[in-house]
């Protein structure tokens, strides 16, 4: 998901000028509150929505923490070398866990690179994408080409089902090319994922057993990082859709090399079958990692549209009609991958806050209040 995706490195890698149009966007900020009795990990401007916050990991790059359907566990990816991995693998945690002094159980194979794990409705199995059938070693991770920040799209990614002991029980995709970024509908009936099987990076849905695969987007550009609405009726995703002749040429050339440039992405929303597709944001720079608010009426996402030189990335919330854009976090570097618990009480996200000034991206769980 592209890591939803190596963007953990985007804080230091992306250098792009803010789109001129973004200067015209009016962004409301969360109200200030009294400093007494609040967690020091919460910036004052964040106290409208963050009642409390807890740090989960303490080193490496940790991201994409997704909740079990019963909200008792989370699955996340990490490349923390102290846990014995050289690139992203999947780790399991209970809601109350934190890992300052010990290692969580790894539930991927430890081979290849993995991304985008998600619980199945039984809370006993997960899906995730992995390159381990292509090679046991971690694939190379190019980050720049011709002076531009890029993401690799590994054609060895396929989607697998595993139990919570790390045993792979089935393989859901077996097409040539990239199959990754799977997430599961809260209704527990469908998976949405990104694939290059058509020759472009498009969104597809399938049943939980991999059957009834349907393509739901069909426009040139990278469509990815998709999530269902709480009632399963809609899908929100990010897209970098080239418009000009030069943009189209550059996009196709990079894709032919298994690469994409993610520095200009906007959010799109559609029905679960791909109908009624419309662009939700028009902010400039990179708008990505969207997730539905529990009401289904708002989207929380990460963006650097207010940044002059690529970062910071902060979390924003916007209505599904594109109105009422509000800034939620106020960090100076990187906040992304927001994911609400199914009961709406908690928000898991990744952040560079409290990392001692290094490049570590850690997981946090905030107690959410509207």
**pLDDT tens digit sequence for 300-325:** 999 999 998 888 999 999 999 999 99
Mean pLDDT score, 230-252: 97
Tell me which residue range forms the domain holding 53: 2-368
Q: State how many domains the chain has.
A: 1
What is this structure's pTM? Answer: 0.91
The CATH number that applies at residue 58 is 2.120.10.30
Indicate if the alpha-carbon torsion angle 212, 160, 365, 93 is positive or negative: positive
pLDDT tens per residue, range 31-69: 433 333 447 899 999 999 999 999 999 999 999 999 999
Name 270's Cβ contacts closer than 8 Å, sequence gap at least 6: 216, 217, 234, 235, 276, 277, 278
* Predicted pLDDT at 29: 53
Above 50 in pLDDT, residue 8? no
Q: Are 58 and 100 in contact (CB under 8 A)?
A: yes
Q: How far apart are the first and last CA of the chain?
A: 29
* Predicted pLDDT at 149: 86
pLDDT tens per residue, range 181-209: 999 999 999 999 999 999 999 999 999 99
Which residue from 109, 105, 58, 55 is spatially nearest to 87, judged by alpha carbons? 109
pLDDT tens per residue, range 85-117: 999 999 999 999 999 999 999 999 999 999 999
Q: How far apart are CA 45 and CA 50, in angstroms?
A: 10
Mean pLDDT score, 274-280: 98
Assigned token pair, 296? 């289904």
* Predicted pLDDT at 141: 87
Q: How far apart are CA 299 and CA 135, in angstroms?
A: 37
* Predicted pLDDT at 311: 85
Above 60 in pLDDT, residue 357? yes
Assigned token pair, 283? 């902010």
Above 80 in pLDDT, residue 6? no
* Predicted pLDDT at 255: 96
* Predicted pLDDT at 142: 82
Which residue from 249, 244, 246, 290 is spatially nearest to 266, judged by alpha carbons? 290
Q: Are 145 and 183 in contact (CB under 8 A)?
A: no
Which residue from 363, 315, 355, 342 is spatially nearest to 46, judged by alpha carbons? 315
């Amino acid at each position: 998901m592209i890591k939803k995706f190596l963007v953990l490195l985007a804080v230091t890698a992306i250098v792009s000028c803010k789109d001129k149009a973004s200067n015209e966007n009016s962004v409301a900020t969360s109200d200030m509150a009294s400093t007494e009795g609040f967690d020091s990990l919460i910036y004052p401007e964040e106290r409208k929505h963050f009642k409390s916050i807890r740090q989960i990991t303490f080193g490496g790059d940790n991201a994409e923490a997704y909740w079990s359907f019963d909200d008792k566990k989370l699955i996340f990816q990490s490349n923390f070398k102290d846990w014995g991995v050289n690139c992203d693998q999947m780790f399991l945690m209970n809601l109350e866990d934190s890992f300052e002094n010990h290692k969580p159980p790894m539930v991927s194979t430890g081979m290849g690179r993995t991304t985008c794990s998600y619980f199945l409705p039984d809370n006993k199995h997960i899906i995730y994408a992995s390159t381990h059938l292509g090679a046991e070693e971690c694939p190379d991770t190019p980050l720049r080409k011709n002076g531009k920040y890029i993401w690799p799209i590994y054609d060895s990614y396929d989607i697998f089902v595993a139990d919570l002991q790390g045993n792979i029980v089935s393989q859901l995709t077996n097409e040539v090319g990239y199959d990754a970024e799977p997430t599961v509908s809260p209704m527990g009936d469908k998976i949405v994922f990104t694939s290059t099987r058509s020759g472009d990076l498009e969104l597809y849905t399938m049943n939980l057993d991999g059957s009834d695969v349907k393509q739901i987007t069909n426009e040139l550009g990278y469509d990815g990082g998709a999530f269902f609405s709480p009632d399963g009726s809609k899908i929100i995703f990010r897209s970098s859709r080239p418009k000009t002749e030069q943009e189209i040429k550059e996009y196709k050339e990079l894709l032919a090399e298994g690469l994409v440039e993610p520095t200009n992405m906007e959010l799109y929303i559609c029905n679960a079958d791909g109908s009624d597709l419309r662009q939700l944001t028009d902010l400039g720079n990179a708008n990505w990692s969207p997730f539905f608010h529990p009401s289904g009426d708002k989207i929380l996402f990460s963006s650097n549209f207010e940044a002059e030189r690529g970062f910071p990335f902060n979390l924003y919330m916007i209505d599904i009609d594109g109105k009422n854009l509000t800034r939620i976090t106020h960090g100076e570097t990187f906040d992304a991958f927001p994911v609400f618990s199914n009961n709406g009480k908690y928000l898991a996200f990744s952040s560079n806050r409290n990392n001692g000034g290094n490049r570590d991206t850690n997981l946090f769980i905030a107690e959410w209040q509207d």
